[in-house]
Amino acid sequence: MSNDVQVFGMTKDAIQEQYINSITARFSGLEMVVAGILSDCQEELAIQAKDNWRDQNKDPRAERIRKQLNVAKFILFELINQREGIE
């Protein structure tokens, strides 16, 4: 297995094709691609927490991770707004 696949789960060429050259990236920018990936991580976390604990609120780690992902998205959207001159 290549190092890329071990690190990213796919090759760098696949990342380029699936994310960087995507329709979302072209029309909304790479920041929105990153925001989408963070949201996908939150969804996966919620599914795992539900599968493991039957109730996401019973796993405090999952809740802390969910909140940190929201912080990352908040900062990302602040960057977008600053770049576009939106306050």
> Please, which pLDDT band fits residue 63 given cuts at 50, 70 and 90?
confident
The residue ranges of DSSP E strands in the chain, in sequence order, are none
Q: What is the pLDDT of residue 86?
A: 79
**How far apart, in whole angstroms, are the C-alpha atoms of residue 46 and residue 48?**
5
The CA distance from 22 to 18, in Å, is 6
Is the pLDDT confidence value at 56 over 60?
no
- Mean pLDDT, to the nearest integer, of 49-68? 73
Query: What are 2-21's pLDDT values in tens digits?
Result: 999 999 999 999 999 999 99
Confidence (pLDDT) at 3: 93
pLDDT at 62: 81
